A and B are shown apart, each in its own frame.
Chain A
Amino acid sequence: MTPTSPPALDPAFVPDATVVVDDVSVWFGQKVALSELSCSFGPGVTGLLGPNGAGKTTLMRAMCGLIPPRRGHVTVLGHDPRGHRDVQSRVALVPEEDAVPEALTARQLVRYSATLNGVTDAGAVERSLAEVSLTDVADRRLGGFSKGMRQRAKVAAALVTDPEVLVLDEPLNGADPVQRVALIELFQQLGAAGRTVVVSSHVLHEVERLAARIIVVVHGRLAAAGDHRSIRDAMSDRPRRVLLRSDDDRRLATGLLGLDQVVAVELGEGGVTISTGNAGELALALPNLSRQVGVRLREVRALDASLDSVFADLTNR
């Protein structure tokens, strides 16, 4: 059965897709991991954003063929990644899990990957290790590696096959700041070279740095897609609750009622809790307001600013 062509202007799809996810559902027993999710990925870096447990890992595993969709289809370079074994030589996954063959050295792992994928270039192993700065410790066992080093070893094992599609599940976990920058640059170079790079993260600003295009998955569904500006706009436009504490909460509450950005005001013992439809404009208006009403602000705290709540709101839109 041939997957249907996606709508041309939908931001979840790209015209030159190398990976097509078509109406995919995956469930494990009673737990629905992915629900009727459709999107596509093409050359360049695409960020896959979502809170923990959103289904990012399941989507990535389905894209690589590790998990068969219960419904729908995944095609990679036009092939079913589960049915066509040769397509695996052009796809590489860096799993999030810490699990590595601990008794192997980094060099052995990369060489193993190279051999199984039919890589004949003798220098490929050393180049891959050098790209992730592991040359010096390449003969140490993976069991003695830190989480960040293990991630880099897995990236090296993926890069050695020169994959057309590179799927990276939270690849920056455990990496120190220097390595983080180096890995981001590496992924961007691969994307610029025409590789399809899909990087997952639950940290918005991290994905923003990495990818021009972002796909947001929440509760196994596609919540949003587009460039980082449109994703951020979608997040900042949502109503938020903010707690304000001052030396005179009653007077502050009265003043807040006059602000256009404020939807509701609630005066309590712990301070003033407000709902706002535009957190950005409120932040600019608050200093003026405090001067006007003559109160000193002691604390301004978003009550629901966690990414999870933002994602939850996106799905309820």
Chain B
Amino acid sequence: MTAPAALRPTGSPLRRLPALVAYVPRACLPRRRLAVLALPCATILASGLLARAVDDRAVRAFTDVAGLGIFGLAMPLGTLVIGDAVLGAEVRSGTLSFTWLTPVRFWELALARWLGGWLVALCTLVPSAALAAVLAGASSLVGPVVVATAASAAAHIALFVLIGALTRRAAVWSLAIVFVIERLLGAVLSGIAQLSPSWQGQAAFVGIGDVTGVRARSGIPEGWDAVVRLGLLTVVWLAVATFGLRRLQLTGARD
């Protein structure tokens, strides 16, 4: 048995992090996946147009339509496309080994994949939501919708990074969690809604927008409290994802 060899310095995380984050839009999101991402963006814009058609005050109409169209459908789907791409798809295809087989710490990997994915969401989904508010004629809600979509995207992508670190069938599990657990169970159980980026995002939007006569789902925090809740969820899910990466088995595609 040989004695453990001294290992050379491997550089600081600060030097590696930009490369890790830049890898996400360059390598994880090829054109095909970006084309798929255009679909939820279009749904968000359509929500804005649809709100115009609703026979109500623009602000109230957009709040109602955004609640379902943006936070209930487009954001979960859009962040799923991004969140699965940043980790789950790489685990499935086998390309994660290019990053895993480096001295990068697992927390760096989880953080960088989340951050890269979130930046993509900030450049695609969030501007679409802002534009939707303008299209709906509810310009006063641009700020609230930007904050709420940014916060819910952060939490959703962290959730999908966590799922990618725990299972090879990340896309299937992510879909099941979004639609079965978040939307269906979350609609009737406050405990689940409190952990749901969709419901929390909607509550953040409604609370910050403070539209007269519109209330968020009962039993969960609203406005900035919801934003803080989403921030906490993001941190916790990334921490668990770090442990998941530590236990990850990168088997070959045939295993």
| B-binding residues in A (CB < 8 A) | 2-3, 5, 16-18, 20, 28, 31, 33, 53, 57-58, 61, 64-68, 75, 77-79, 84-93, 95-97, 99-104, 108-109, 112-113, 115-118, 120, 143, 157, 164
Contacts and interface: CB of A to CB of B under 8 A. Distances in A.
Interface in B7-21: 7-11, 15-16, 19-20
B100 to A, nearest CB: 7
A109 B20 CA distance: 12
Contacts of B29: 103
A53 to B, nearest CB: 8
A18 B2 contact: yes
Contacts of A96: 252
Interface stretch (B89-97, B122-130, B181-189): B89-97
**Interface bin, chain B:** 35 or more
Given A17-B2, A20-B2, A99-B94, A116 B104 contact: yes
B142 interface: no
Nearest to A77: B5
Contacts of B98: 100-101, 109, 112-113, 157
B249 A115 contact: no
Contacts of A79: 4-5, 7
8 contacts: A28-B251, A95-B94, A99-B95, A101-B28, A103-B29, A104-B26, A118-B9, A120-B11
A103 B27 contact: yes
A118 B11 contact: yes
Interface of B: 1-5, 7-11, 15-16, 19-20, 23, 26-31, 93-95, 97-106, 247, 249-255
Main secondary structure of the interface of B (DSSP, over half): loop
B5 A78 contact: yes
Nearest to B100: A66
B104 A58 contact: no
Contacts of A120: 11
Contact of B102 (A66, A88, A104): A88
Nearest to A82: B246
A3 B1 contact: yes
B249 A20 contact: no
A95 B2 contact: no
A31 B251 CA distance: 13
Contacts of A116: 16, 19-20, 99, 102-104
B103 A89 contact: yes
Closest A-B pairs by Cβ, 3 of them: A78-B4, A118-B11, A101-B27
